[in-house]
Chains A and B, each alone.
Chain A
Amino acid sequence: MKKAGSAVSYLIAFILILMISFLLPRLMPGNPLMAIYGEEALIAMTPELQAELTQRFSLDDPLGTQFVSYLKALLHGDMGYSYFHNAPVFDVIIASLPWTLLLVGLAVLISSFLGIILGIESGYRRGETTDKVLLTGLISLSGFPDFFIGILLLLFFGAALGIAPLAGAVTPYAGKTGLALLIDVLHHLTLPLLALVLVRITGTYLLTRNTMVTTLGEAFILTAKAKGCREREIRYRHAGRNSLLPVVTAAGLQLAGSITGALFIEIVFSYPGVGSLLYNSLLARDYPLMQGILLMTTVVILLANYMIDLLYTRLDPRITYSR
């Protein structure tokens, strides 16, 4: 029941996003082509090309017809043409998307995992030295802005120690394959990933620790102890399991934030992901690419949120009923 309901709401959100990305450039004053392609591209265009584009997007027709042709074009993977890259927008994005997914996905997984474990252990030992050290350490870490951590890492490991590459996702033109390629990818990934994990970990840690502290006071923990459960079982199976719920919710809420975080990190490490792409498109005022990226990221965030929702229903049996 709930699954269907939330799928519908995600669909509605998706359609809204499509409409916004369709309407925004068209509602701007002046030539819509200019809004879509940018002033410079428009100047460079031949009148024939302009006419062809106008016709292709049905720009002279009423909005409804325009929307239909927009959707049709999207279905064919046509998100416009990047004059800067001299390639279709879709192709440009698809080329850098995997790197971002790899970076953000791994960062979310690793930071959540570590944050939860540290949170559980710290919450269980509330007031003890381990807890105090972890708490102070992680809170001071969260005081640094994300790109700052990135720069520090880059300077220390990359520039000073020289043990990490300064830029890129692979060593260019090395023609590596197989295991060597994998190692090379990981080698490039380590620092940006580390930076992103360090940025994200404190939130998860604090949330888990707090829930852990309250959960440990719940009556069912006493029941577990009275059963004769071992400490480890109480910590993970009973209290920890319960502390997972708010973390998952928060992960969904923070996803957009993680992506903007990734943007800065990618720029700092010149990592060839969507973040760097967006940055460059901003510099080049490559409007079609910018719009494509925005549409793509929102869709990705939407998809991820939907998956988290599904995960949550599996984690908390009360959800299906309490709605």
Chain B
Amino acid sequence: MLEIKNLKVSYNELNILKGIDLSLNKGESLAVIGETGAGKTTLSLSIMGLIEGHCTGEILFQGENLLSLPEDELRLLRGRRIAMVFQDVEAALHPLYTIRQQIIEAILVHGEKDRDFAAEHTRQLLARVGLDERRGDSYPHQLSGGEKQKALICIALANDPDVLILDEPTAALDALTKAEIINLLRKEAKERITLVITHDIDAAAKLAERIAVMYAGRILEMGPTEELLEQPMHPYTRGLLRSYPNMTTTKDLQGIPGRMSHRVEGCPFHTRCTQKIAVCGHDVPELQKKNSRYLACHRGGIIPLLEVKNISSNIDKVEILHSVDINLYEGETLALVGESGSGKTTLAKTIMGLFTAKQGEIFLEEKPVIQRKKEFFERVQMVFQNPGESISHRMNVYQAVKEPLDIHGSRASESEKQEKVKKVLDEVELTGDDEYLKKYPHHLSGGEAQRVAIARALVLDPKLIIADEPTSALDASIQAKILRLFLDLQEERGLALLLITHDIALARKVSDRMAVMLQGTIVEEGPTSEIVNNPLHPYTKCLIEVAPTMSREISEPLETNSREEDHETETDFQKGSSDSQQNCPFIRRCPHPLPRCFQDKPELKTCSVHRVACFRHTVHWPT
């Protein structure tokens, strides 16, 4: 019914919309989100035919191109077939006429002659939006923001339009009024085409079944609302979601570096993108369909920076890791949690090549890692659990932090290197004065040594840091600063972080996704907020129950079940690992095991947005 083809709009020679393609059928709703100045309102005004700039392309409404329609025919569509509620609630109503007069006008202006009918219809409209009948005789200044918004909705609905465009319908409303308006709009949107324009992601999610992300006059990503919000594919979409305060995600707010500009060659986002490549600077990526999603990115969206596929690893002939599968995306934090001895450090060391994998593959930036040469360590750095493993005891602080610069043949002069060393030391809250630089590791406290190790990892500006309990030796305030530093680096240049920790409370604030490890297997994986608020695996549940809170209540840790067969299981387990491959690794502590759990090891299976290895959550049990 409404189809937009290659719509371009320019104001004074400056292109604002640069080729928009959209199509909406009756009953469908689409929200356009994006930061201010992206061109959202321009899009809606060009559909209304109220644009002051120059338009090219086509806007087809029931087969007719609105852009070539003469003004008097357009006028007949406006408010009758296509209606719009404008952004600025406070100023969008005429201050000198009553609400009733303004609604009646909307009816009469389209040729209705019967004033009594118009008055009666207005009464019905007021009732429909939940405005008191007497409110009709008020002037706008006598109404609250929510009431004004309702009056505006009445005007828009007056002629029962086919297309309803809502520009920031909930801005400047308090949360309760907003909820009320959203309810009302949802009811009214049925049977129409609804286009919602907003930077309020919550409103977009509630009002539309599809979301389009607009940036500098182009659509960068579009897809079903839930999917897009749960798994943004475009780096910009992720940036938007990360900076939106909400009750769903738990990670600290992060912004997007830089500023939007309409005069950018190539990918409009490339000046702010942390994963751009050469082509991004001169070619505009096309919006391409990918399953249910549309995406405009030369790299196919956020790239997986590190892919660990089916890795098993032995230490002294004992298999420690069993077919581990994890992905870490560019600019993302993946928290690897699990109790002591679950194999987290082994996994990290296997990635770094300190242990060789018995099977499986590792990909870095989509290329298989076969040998780890200089280029690998320029991209990937590790902070070890024990700082002694990171820094040689024969080097003083300065040498230790500078060494990576020397090894990787940085062409920087000695004084530049010194600058750089002092800068990273400052970033990790250490002093860069000469006396300190000359200290040796055994002169440092545990926390200081750990920070020197972190500085050493940061000095090369790696793309990926694998940090094994990087802050467990630090007090809470330094820990907060170091993690903030990681997050800032992530925001600025897309640092990916594999954070190994057993502190779920900490992981909750800094990670995007979480993987839970138990006895060398990943038992659950998913978005952090989901894992924390809605854990599926019983092991995850216990980890979360014992995570730090600030209350006096305590929770009982899950005891090993005192069943008859337990004794046997225990001895089996201690005898060797081969048996643990034949049942669920959590069997001994699971409160509700199924018979299957004693015979088979559950595989990691997708369950909503989680991946979980538990028979209780396998939807179709294999017979």
Contacts and interface: CB of A to CB of B under 8 A. Distances in A.
Residue among A228, A230, A233, A316 with most chain B CB within 10 A: A228
B96 A223 contact: no
B91 interface: yes
A220 interface: yes
Contacts of B201: none
B139 A226 contact: no
B86 interface: yes
A321 B80 CA distance: 35
Contact of B86 (A222, A229, A230, A315): A222
Given A233-B109, A317-B96, A321-B141, A227 B91 contact: no
Contacts of A228: 75-80, 106, 109-110
B602 to A, nearest CB: 58
Contacts of B96: 241-242, 315-317
Interface in B83-109: 83-84, 86-88, 91-96, 98, 105-106, 109
A226 B86 contact: yes
B155 interface: yes
Contact of A227 (B95, B109, B141): B109
Nearest to B93: A220
A318 B98 CA distance: 11
A228 B77 CA distance: 7
Nearest to B76: A228
Interface string B132-163: 00000001011000000000100110100000
Size range of the interface on B?
Answer: 20 to 34
Interface in A225-243: 225-230, 233, 237-238, 241-242
B78 A225 contact: yes
Contact of B94 (A223, A225, A321): A223
A248 B88 CA distance: 28
A224 B106 CA distance: 8
A52 interface: no
A61 interface: no
A232 to B, nearest CB: 11
B50 interface: yes
Contacts of B193: none
Contact of B139 (A220, A227, A315, A317): A317
A50 to B, nearest CB: 61
B351 interface: no
Contacts, number: 75
B109 A230 contact: yes
A321 B86 contact: no
A17 B389 CA distance: 97
Size range of the interface on A?
Answer: 20 to 34
A226 B105 CA distance: 12
Contacts of A220: 91-95
Nearest to B50: A225
Contacts of A60: none
A39 interface: no
Nearest to A222: B86
B92 A222 contact: yes
Nearest to B111: A228
A222 B79 contact: no
Given A220-B91, A242-B95, A317-B139, A229 B50 contact: no
Interface in A184-236: 218-220, 222-230, 233
Contact of A318 (B78, B79, B95): B95
Contacts of B79: 226-228
Contact of B50 (A222, A238, A321): A222
Contacts of A226: 48, 50, 78-79, 83-84, 86, 156
Interface string A285-302: 000000000000000000
Contacts of A233: 109
Contacts of B156: 226
Residue among A220, A318, A321 with most chain B CB within 10 A: A220
Contact of A223 (B76, B77, B86): B86
B75 A318 contact: no
Contacts of A223: 86, 92-94, 152, 155
Contacts of B83: 226
A316 B96 CA distance: 6
A227 B78 contact: yes
Interface string B68-79: 000000011111
Contacts of B152: 223
A296 to B, nearest CB: 36
A217 B98 CA distance: 21
Contacts of A316: 95-96
Given A226-B78, A317-B96, A321-B141, A219 B91 contact: yes
Interface in B374-422: none
Given A223-B152, A225-B78, A226-B78, A238 B141 contact: no
A248 to B, nearest CB: 12
A82 to B, nearest CB: 49
A242 B48 CA distance: 24
Contact of B109 (A219, A229, A315, A322): A229
B75 A230 contact: yes
B427 to A, nearest CB: 47
A188 B163 CA distance: 62
B147 to A, nearest CB: 15
A228 B78 CA distance: 5
B88 A219 contact: yes
A191 to B, nearest CB: 38
A218 B75 contact: no
A39 to B, nearest CB: 57
Contacts of A317: 95-96, 98, 139, 141
Nearest to B45: A222
Nearest to B152: A223
A298 B88 CA distance: 45
A231 to B, nearest CB: 8
B137 to A, nearest CB: 10
Interface string B108-141: 0110000000000000000000000000000101
A224 B375 CA distance: 63
A246 to B, nearest CB: 13
Contacts of B155: 223, 227
B167 to A, nearest CB: 10
Contacts of B92: 219-220, 222-223
Contacts of A218: 91
Given A223-B155, A225-B50, 4 more contacts: A223-B93, A227-B79, A317-B139, A322-B141
Interface of B: 48, 50, 75-80, 83-84, 86-88, 91-96, 98, 105-106, 109-110, 139, 141-142, 152, 155-156, 158
10 contacts: A220-B92, A223-B94, A225-B48, A228-B79, A228-B110, A229-B75, A241-B94, A242-B96, A316-B95, A321-B141
* Chain A to chain B: the 8 pairs with minimum beta-carbon distance, closest first: A228-B79, A219-B91, A227-B79, A228-B78, A317-B139, A219-B88, A219-B92, A220-B94
